[in-house]
Structure 1
Amino acid sequence: MYKTIVVHVDDASHFEARLRAAAALADAHDAHLVGTAATGMSVAAYAMLTGSMGAMPGDEFDSLRASGNASLARFAERARQLGVRSAEGRLVEDESRAGLLLQSRYADLIVVAQDSPDAPAVRGLPQYLALHGPRPVLTVPAGYAGEPIADSIVVGWDGSVPALRAIDGAMPLLTRARSVRLALINPEREVGLHGDEPGADMALYLARHGVPVDVVVERTEWPPGEALLRIAHDNDAGLLVTGAFGHSRYREIVLGGATRVLLERAPIPVLYAH
């Protein structure tokens, strides 16, 4: 089960979506919810920028603290309204990536916003945390309005270590789901990763954990990310689970890949791990 969940707190308009998701998970797992806001830079970085290494932080840095604390106050009030039983706010005097990476060491799950051009200040945050952090990352799209997350789940399985870590990170959700589709996209292209019957071994592994799993093998010319989105739509899924950057980052970032498609376009929450 998840017992500590960290949610990124800021003043973006789509913060409500990720807080709703985090609050629902905290309620379902009787977890402690930690809202983490960041000043955007450390005291040392501020001092270097202002050329005052020997001085105390000035009014501008105090305003960054005040802004972060105001966001945390809104988080506390909204979390209370959503019925979160155990919550706290933490202000990190650093930029968001470093602050959340530190907090991830002491949590079971990190909840952030889906990558969006409307939030350039934290663009790239989900993939940074998935690549460098020790915990699974749940991204929540701006349009999420509180729909059930763990009722119907689609798991993208390509035999890779990142996909395996995503499955392990999602296990508290998978074991509670009504239905889980283990989706394999053109498995014959992943030579040596699936065994004689693609999906069978992983399905058996999940079944032994009590997961109600069915295997879906999709042979298509669609890119893997697009195919996963279609399977999720056809099965009315509330969550996608997938490895982040299962192929080389050059291939994913420069040539495109499933991770990029899901980070930018998934209409439902996606849980990643690397």
Structure 2
Amino acid sequence: MYKTIVLHIDGGSQQDSRMRAAAMLAREHGAHLVGTAATGISYTDLALLAGSMAAPVPVTDLDGLRDAALVRLQEFAAQAVRLGVASSEVRLIEDHADYALLMQSRYADLVVLSQDREHGHELGLPARVRRLPEHLALHGARPVLVIPDSWQGEPIPGTVVAGWDGSMQAIRAFEAALPLLQRAPGVKLALINPDTLTGLHGEEPGADMALFLARHGVEVEVVVERTGATAGHALAALASDCGAGLIVSGAYGHSRYREWVLGGVTRELLARTPVPLLIAH
């Protein structure tokens, strides 16, 4: 079970949906919910900027950044109570959001973020919050649950689509998702074009992993799809077709350079996932 959940608090328009998702999981798992906000500038940066004429944030504005973050945290605390979260706390970090969340994630079971917006930024949000789910999944020690803009409060996990390609990243994602997989009414263990990865699957693709999950009390069904579509597109389509409430996938099973430059399953799922997405590296 998840006992400590970290939630990103930035005051943006996407915060409400991820807040409701995190609160739902905290209630169901009896978890402690940690709202984490960042000022967006570290003391080290501040010291360096103090003597720079090109400082993007005037030194005198630090108190304003801190006060704004504290207001957002107060609002989080009040909303947590309204949403029935029994145990919560706030954390203010004097640094950038990526560093703050990486640090807090070390002491949590799960980090809840929003789907990254590829086009433009909301007014007032710093540029370093871009690609936050990817950054936390790659550099953090804990799984990341990404809540899409379209999420309307449907049960998590519901039916789960779990992408299995035999990789270490997928194994870590499945292990991290076990508390959700065990609660799911059904898990579709999805193998996309497994014939291209015969060395990772054995004689009967998916059979051994299905047995492993079943021994953990997971209701699992192996789904093999042979398609000309990309794996990310196929997983998202399967989730839509079966009314899934969650997708589970390893993050960056291929070369990071290849996925960063050419795209890949991770980036495609983060961009197009129709439901909450749990990723781990």
Common fold: TM-score over 0.5: yes
CA distance, structure 2, for counterparts of residue 144 and residue 47 of structure 1: 41
- Find the counterpart in structure 2 of residue 161 from structure 1: 168
> Can you give the 5+ residue segments of structure 2 that lack an aligned partner in the other structure?
53-57, 122-126
Aligned-residue offset at 1:227:
0.2
Matches within 5 A, 1:1-274: 1-51=1-51, 58-116=59-117, 117-119=119-121, 120-274=127-281
| Cα pair 1:239 1:270 within 8 Å, conserved | yes
What secondary structure does 1:183 align onto? Answer: strand
Identity value in percent: 59
CA distance, structure 2, for counterparts of residue 101 and residue 42 of structure 1: 14
CA distance, structure 1, for counterparts of residue 195 and residue 128 of structure 2: 40
**Greater Cα offset, 102-111 or 248-257:** 248-257
Alpha-carbon displacement from aligned partner over 1:208-243 (angstroms, at most 9, x marks no partner): 000000000000000000000111011100000000
Aligned-residue offset at 1:143:
2.2
What letter corresponds to residue 191 of structure 2 in structure 1? L
What letter corresponds to residue 110 of structure 2 in structure 1? L
CA distance, structure 1, for counterparts of residue 270 and residue 158 of structure 2: 21
Aligned-residue offset at 1:58:
4.8
- Tell me how many residue pairs correspond in the alignment: 270
CA distance, structure 2, for counterparts of residue 45 and residue 99 of structure 1: 14
> Given the two structures, how large is their TM-score scaled by the length of structure 1?
0.96
**Greater Cα offset, 255-264 or 131-140:** 255-264
Aligned-residue offset at 1:32:
0.2
Aligned alpha-carbon RMSD (Å)? 1.3
What letter corresponds to residue 114 of structure 1 in structure 2? Q
Aligned-residue offset at 1:59:
3.0
Alpha-carbon displacement from aligned partner over 1:57-106 (angstroms, at most 9, x marks no partner): 95311111001101101111111111111111100101000010000110
CA distance, structure 2, for counterparts of residue 260 and residue 197 of structure 1: 29
CA distance, structure 1, for counterparts of residue 226 and residue 185 of structure 2: 25
What letter corresponds to residue 72 of structure 2 in structure 1? S
| Cα pair 1:186 1:220 within 8 Å, conserved | yes
